[in-house]
Structure 1
């Protein structure tokens, strides 16, 4: 799992903002890329720098800035090094800035074509399921720019470089090592405090905190697990009693007819006075619990594989990255 795209808002507190900004622009190399009608002040490698209300906005992939790509491992322990490097290049203590956007992603080598896994992920409450592109599945929040995405990373890289005059052969070589490469990404494009259920803004320095990284991982994992996944329509050997039977029937109804049909039927019952609004909510929660109930139901082989690899990935992060973050912090204090 890696931090990819970030957006840092930094208030430099310059007495003469225009003069100091001009010095900064002259100091850094000029790179012509991007939309000429929306040109940034300058680029630092792939990071786009603009201003708003006398504040600097630095946006782009931190993994690409540090590694040159977001395919190779870019661990939580690398984040401090990358921010410190960027701070030195700009001559500003960016760890004091505010984090306005963050994307957290993971690349997983999977056994089959990436798009085969999409059909088994059918619903996420409060998110729209979008299949605008063949190689991408997006769950977009109904109210805010919070997205949970699955896409074919290998095909994306190969397609991006197909018509380029200057091909990125390093990226092509990296993805070519995999038969199938899936990227799963949580994109928090704005209102980060709201997503984290807090009021105070998120400081860049919090990216160096093990507890903050654990919180982001929990949010990522919670959304992944709350995606309702298609089961196999048979009575598993573990099915016991009326409760399991009713859960199985509820699952089959949603997988066959969809949430829209259930909502329509419940709304009709409310209109004719058969049930009240409170009972409608209770009934809907029963169906949700059934869809998220992992005990007696058999998932498709693709989903089982993906669940297993996500769990192994998280175990690796906890053992090999988060504990190292704590050790690094202790060394810095000493």
Structure 2
């Protein structure tokens, strides 16, 4: 049987319906299928993931799908800091962090004192409906894993692929591995979650080196301003985590990344002035292609904008104030304005003292999330 002789459309539909297990079984009986693994027929999956898990410490053991070590993540990251946690075996564990060596140090309390234990790190990798874990301790382990994935899974497409990486013990070999892995697969939507600070340069390099720029990138963890400024043009850049340096100004990010089709800055810790807000509206209004930007702010920039352009809280639909036309109103909660060729959606959450601006030259993009 020569599976590659089938029409391209049939091959694509066939591979979309097959699980990874089915695909591997087919390779045992059809050599031609193996030849096609590097092409577009390798399959398409909605979700993939690579994450850290710790193999042999009951106090911080992680499962393949969900991590159970949240009680210390984000707390034991400073030199000399410690946290005490109880393992599933009932023993009391101390966890501390050595900044110089970037190593977590674990010890278990015993009646005769503290006993240090060795912790092995592991990766949990999910590709479609298949997932597996791998212990690693050297560069050779990563090289073997990369070769295995390259032989079995090259050419696979993912709608969304999440990098959930928070192991402070990982080093350059690991970062090189995830870079190689990303280059072997096709990804439409990157998700970066729980990154340690020293990962960010590698994250930027991955986004810059990735051959297809028509993809989305979502930072679900803390975002660094310099990293956001360095990211090349994308279909969509989303930052749903809090910025590391609170109250980052929106306009430098927008002007530096003016070729992003969609820019979404979540949370309410972004700064904007009325002048910068007007500059963004003008750029979006004059754009020759679809452009959208969304960002959360405290309530003061919203009230300042409305006051500066004499738009009262009691404004009703179809009223005009200078260059602004009121299109839709929900008292104290929502206003939709038109400015030239764009619309501005203003949402106010008074109990939380914050709100959100969405500016777009495409009506349906007023409801991006």
Higher-strand-fraction structure: 2
Normalising by structure 2, we get a TM-score of 0.22
- Structure number with the bigger relative contact order (C-alpha 8 A, sep ≥ 6) is 1
Q: TM-score, normalised by structure 1?
A: 0.24
Which has more radius of gyration? 2
